[in-house]
């Protein structure tokens, strides 16, 4: 039988991997089971974090490339958004024993800023020590996608953001980074999301059902 407890589920993966779609599907399934659940995302999730998100994503479209944010400014903005998000949304929800589903979290910073942009890991670790309040995901789904499928999904997108335009090599690197982070961790599930079928959403639900003891 399901017993209310704080539970933090994160979806990670490159653009076009379907994590926003899958997190919504899971959210709807848990709600149907009357499980107190919130769905949120990073960067974003609160009014202030969404403002920071806009700032980060807008920067990419700035015409003058000389005026772009330095990679440490960029990183600090992601972390600033995370601080607001944890303090005002994630932590309060977990304290109320809710299930929190988050579209991206700290592994995105490791994959994109550390592995991708070569930002110092210790710089991020030190800030995380102060802002995470010991909060760690209970389970992480890393969605792996083929180049072809991710491309197809991104072309269909109406609103593009900075990373939607990056070169294929950047995606490959980011995807490999996510897989590297997930390897040998018991609570990480690397799942292929290249096919557009219902199989994946069922698989994700099955894992959650087991962890949450849902009948
Ligand atoms: P989204 O595409 O999932 O909406 O996220 C917006 C972009 O932000 C995405 O392309 C990846 C990037 N990102 C980072 O570079 N570092 C981070 O820490 C997070 C949370 C996202």
Tens-place pLDDT, residues 6-59: 999 999 999 889 999 999 999 999 999 999 999 999 999 999 999 999 999 887
First to last CA, the chain: 6
> What pLDDT was estimated at residue 108?
98
Residue 39 domain-assigned (yes or no): yes
Q: Is 112 in the pocket of ligand 1 (CB under 6 A)?
A: yes
Residue 81 domain-assigned (yes or no): yes
Q: Residue 180 belongs to a domain with what CATH number? A: 3.40.50.300
Tens-place pLDDT, residues 82-128: 999 999 999 999 999 999 999 999 999 999 999 999 999 999 999 99
pTM: 0.94
Residue 62 domain-assigned (yes or no): yes
Dist. CA 35–CA 130, nearest whole Å? 30
Domain count, the chain: 1
Domain that holds residue 68: 7-147+160-212
Give the distance, in angstroms, between the CA of residue 105 and the centroid of all CA atoms in the same chain.
4
Residue 155 domain-assigned (yes or no): no
Specify whether the CB–CB gap between 48 and 180 falls below 8 A: no
Residue 120 domain-assigned (yes or no): yes
Residue 169 domain-assigned (yes or no): yes
Residue 152 domain-assigned (yes or no): no
Separation of CA 37 and ligand 1 centre (Å): 22
Residue 65 domain-assigned (yes or no): yes
Closest residue to atom 16 of ligand 1, CA basis: 109
Mutation choice for ligand 1 from 10, 43, 154, CB with most ligand atoms inside 8 A: 43
Separation of CA 14 and ligand 1 centre (Å): 9
Q: Is 157 helix (H, G, I), strand (E, B) or coil?
A: coil
Structure tokens that stand for 182 in this block: 């997930």
Separation of CA 43 and ligand 1 centre (Å): 6
């Amino acid at each position: 039988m399901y017993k209310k407890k704080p539970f933090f589920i994160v979806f990670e993966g490159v653009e076009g991997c379907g994590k926003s779609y899958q997190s919504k599907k899971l959210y709807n399934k848990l709600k149907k089971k009357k499980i107190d659940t919130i769905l949120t995302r990073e960067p974003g999730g609160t009014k202030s974090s969404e403002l920071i998100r806009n700032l980060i994503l807008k920067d990419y479209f700035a015409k003058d490339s000389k005026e772009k944010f330095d990679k440490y400014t960029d990183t600090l903005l992601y972390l600033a958004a995370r601080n607001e998000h944890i303090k005002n949304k994630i932590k309060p929800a977990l304290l109320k024993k809710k299930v929190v589903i988050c579209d991206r979290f700290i592994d995105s910073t490791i994959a994109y800023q550390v592995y991708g942009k070569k930002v110092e890991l210790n710089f991020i670790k030190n800030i995380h020590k102060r802002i995470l309040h010991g909060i760690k995901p209970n389970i992480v789904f890393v969605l792996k996608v083929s180049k072809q499928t991710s491309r197809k999904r991104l072309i269909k997108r109406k609103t593009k953001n900075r990373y939607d335009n990056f070169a294929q090599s950047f995606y490959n690197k980011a995807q490999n980074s996510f897989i590297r982070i997930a390897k040998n961790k018991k609570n990480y599930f690397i799942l292929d999301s290249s096919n557009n079928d219902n199989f994946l959403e069922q698989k994700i639900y099955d894992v959650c059902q087991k962890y949450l003891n849902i009948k």
